[in-house]
Amino acid sequence: LLASLAISNRAAAGQFAATYFAPNSQTVNVGTQASVDLTFAVGSSGAYGIDAWIAFDPDVLQVLSVTTGNSSPYTSVSINTFDNSLGTLRYAATGGTVSNNTLTAAMIVFSAIAPGTSPIDIINVNEYIVNYGPYGVNGLAVDGSITVEGSALVSTPEAGA
């Protein structure tokens, strides 16, 4: 019985949500901001929420803000945390049920603090399926990256210090 359930889940994987960043990659200069949309393409199973764990290189990028996407029906945010020393971010929100639709679940704004390329990795993502709850859809997640060009920001001491 368990083997048949596993096969049916793999066969039905197209009905579940895919998660990716838009834009998928971009190049910015040190001292500027880079915005990415956490995009959620909901399949036919229907979903009433998202829970995503994201990692980035804190030596290259720092999160400035994470806000609910303008087109998102998931307006009840239960987790919205980030740690710029560890390079981690977690965002979870629920709301109206959607199916067969692509939406911006969250908008993330980074500050580019040093040259280099930072992956933006989707470490884990769950969609909340009606009459089921959280369901892992990591296999349908596509990571992104931000390349930062220019010289590292240097702080200068104030006069007389």
CB-CB contact of 147 with 110 (8 Å): no
pLDDT for the residue 46: 86
pLDDT for the residue 151: 86
DSSP state for residue 75 in the 8-state scheme: -
CA distance 7 to 31: 49
CA distance 29 to 112: 7
pLDDT for the residue 69: 94
Which residue positions in the chain have pLDDT lower than 70? 1-14, 139, 153-161
